[in-house]
């Protein structure tokens, strides 16, 4: 299938000084398939338009708010409109922006967590089903080649029956009260009105849940949660521990902390089955360790020809040339782009090409977060997961 032009996207949020907005734009530019053509880059009109000018947006597509962006796109002839919108705002804006664009018939990519409540998540899933639009959620760790290889090994039975799943995600950036020192990221993430009902468990615990679900394919039966707030004056958790029970009898553990002083972005996955164990670290992303029950331990490397096709497709460079965070985001956007192109052509998408987390994955993550809150506030603790 060939196409005669790049896809066009608009961004809501993620102005020139925003960390994650820059990551998304760089990721989308990496493979030369997507152009940044429009935006509403801040909730402040002056900051939004100043950011757009600094990033090279044309004046007539540089908007002070997302409502003006949507109205302008709808007034344009179809051949000039954006193909999709990328939403990188604080969490509380995800739902109204995503719902409005989906209902208007636009494809959407949204940062995680998807929305702030299960009811919003369910409504968004219904809206996507009714509109038939493409909707991606940027759980970027699923874009790492060796995570895709880990998924292949587990799903193909190399580990046998899964018994234990452990995910640790430890950061130290909230070990001090940075939200009181002008750190915008900490400010809104620790604010229930903007960040939602949980802090760390929603911010990075949601990544841990998605990583476990993506690699193993297991379904949660119940959870037991313990959330803690170490930072004085904080309204939301900055540390959490979860015990997990899966429907197949497997057990799991999720540890998420943003007060682990001195640590950076220490995400670790370990899956053990009846025939062996795999382990992967985000800070050493190009290696996957496979420890079989009846053979020597082996270290699989990104870019190797013996990896599964999905892992090979996710690599751009030969083995030994490190690829990491932005490339993983780019792989999510490549999957969304492949699905949008197939949708436009009216044909089924290549499942290997269109490999990305969808709105249902985001909705599951939101319901997971709600169950974490329910369990943490319950004397009984063990809480059933639907």
Candidates 125, 328, 291; CA nearest to 211 is 328
The pLDDT assigned to 17 comes to 84
Whole-angstrom distance, CA of residue 364 vs CA of residue 354: 20
> Do 169 and 300 fall within a single domain?
yes
Segments forming the whole domain that contains residue 268: 146-308+365-384
Structure token pair of residue 183: 């750190």
Looking at residue 180, what is its pLDDT?
85
For residue 73, tell me if it sits in a domain: yes
Does residue 274 share a domain with residue 152? yes
Please report, for the domain that includes residue 299, its CATH number: 3.30.360.10
Question: Which are the contacts of 308, defined by CB distance < 8 A and separation ≥ 6?
Answer: 148, 149, 152
> Based on the domain organization, do 246 and 173 belong to the same domain?
yes
pLDDT of 3 reads: 57
Instruction: Assess whether 46 and 69 both reside in one domain.
Output: yes
At 2 the pLDDT is 46
Clarify whether residues 207 and 229 are in a common domain: yes
pLDDT given for residue 50 in this prediction: 96
Q: Are residues 162 and 239 in the same domain?
A: yes
Decide if 35 is inside a domain: yes
Q: Report if residue 216 sits inside a domain.
A: yes
Tokens 């994955």 map to which residue? 361
Contacts of 136 (CB under 8 A, 6+ apart): 108, 109, 110, 332, 333, 335, 336, 339, 356, 357, 358
Distance CA 229, CA 377 (A): 13
- 38, 162: one domain: no
**pTM for this entry:** 0.95
Nearest-CA neighbor of 359 among 166, 171, 145, 111? 111
Number of domains into which the chain is organized: 2
- Please indicate, yes or no, if residue 337 is contained in any of the structural domains: yes
In this structure, is residue 26 part of a structural domain? yes
Q: How far apart are CA 177 and CA 171, in angstroms?
A: 14
Residues 293, 373: one domain?
yes
pLDDT of residue 146: 98
Residue 325 covered by a domain: no
Measured distance CA(278)–CA(276) in Å, rounded: 7
- 68 and 202 housed in the same domain: no
The terminus-to-terminus CA distance of the chain in angstroms comes to: 39
Pair (227, 373) in one structural domain = yes
Residue 374's pLDDT is what?
Answer: 95
Tens digit of pLDDT at every position of the chain (386 positions): 345 799 999 999 999 888 999 999 999 999 999 999 999 999 999 999 999 999 999 999 999 999 999 999 999 999 999 999 999 999 999 999 999 999 999 999 999 999 999 999 999 999 999 999 999 999 999 999 999 999 999 999 999 999 999 999 999 999 999 988 888 888 889 999 999 889 999 999 999 999 999 999 999 999 999 999 999 999 999 999 999 999 999 999 999 999 999 999 999 999 999 999 999 999 999 999 999 999 999 999 999 999 999 999 999 999 999 999 999 999 999 999 999 999 999 999 898 999 999 999 999 999 999 999 999 998 768 899 97
Is 68 a member of any domain?
yes
Together in a domain, 132 and 241? no
Instruction: Kindly report the CATH number assigned to the domain that includes residue 78.
Output: 3.40.50.720
Q: Are residues 282 and 339 in the same domain?
A: no
Residue 1 maps to a domain: no
């Amino acid at each position: 299938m060939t196409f005669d032009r790049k896809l066009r996207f608009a961004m809501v949020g993620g102005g020139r000084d925003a960390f994650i907005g820059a990551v998304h734009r760089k990721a989308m530019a990496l493979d030369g398939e997507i152009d940044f053509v429009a935006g509403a880059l801040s909730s402040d009109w002056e900051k939004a338009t100043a950011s757009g000018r600094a990033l090279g947006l044309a004046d007539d597509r540089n908007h002070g708010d997302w409502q003006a962006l949507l109205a302008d796109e709808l007034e344009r002839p179809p051949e000039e409109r954006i193909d999709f919108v990328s939403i990188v705002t604080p969490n509380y804006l995800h739902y109204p922006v995503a719902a409005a664009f989906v209902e208007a018939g636009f494809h959407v990519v949204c940062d995680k967590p998807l929305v702030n409540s299960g009811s919003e998540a369910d409504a968004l899933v219904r809206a996507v089903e009714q509109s038939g639009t493409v909707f991606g959620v940027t759980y970027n760790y699923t874009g790492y080649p060796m995570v895709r290889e880990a998924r292949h090994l587990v799903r193909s039975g190399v580990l046998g029956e899964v018994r234990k799943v452990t995910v640790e995600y430890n950061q130290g950036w909230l070990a001090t009260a940075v939200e009181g020192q002008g750190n915008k990221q900490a400010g809104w993430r620790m604010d229930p009105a903007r960040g939602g009902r949980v802090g760390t468990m929603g911010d990075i615990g949601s990544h841990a849940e998605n990583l476990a679900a993506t690699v193993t394919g297991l379904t949660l039966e119940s959870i037991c949660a313990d959330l803690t707030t170490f930072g004085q004056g904080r309204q939301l958790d900055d540390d959490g521990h979860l015990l997990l029970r899966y429907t197949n009898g497997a057990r799991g553990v999720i540890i998420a902390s943003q007060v682990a002083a001195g640590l950076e972005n220490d995400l670790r996955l370990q899956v053990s089955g009846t025939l062996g164990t795999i382990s992967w670290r985000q800070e050493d992303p190009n290696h996957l360790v496979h420890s079989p029950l009846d053979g020597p331990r082996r270290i699989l490397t990104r870019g190797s020809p013996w990896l599964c096709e999905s892992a090979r497709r996710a690599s751009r460079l030969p083995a030994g040339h490190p690829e990491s965070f932005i490339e993983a985001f780019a792989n999510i956007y490549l999957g969304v782009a492949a699905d949008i192109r197939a949708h436009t052509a009216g044909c089924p998408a290549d499942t290997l090409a269109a490999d990305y987390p969808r709105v249902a994955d985001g909705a599951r993550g939101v319901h997971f977060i709600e169950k974490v809150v329910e369990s943490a506030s319950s004397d009984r603790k063990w809480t059933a997961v639907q």
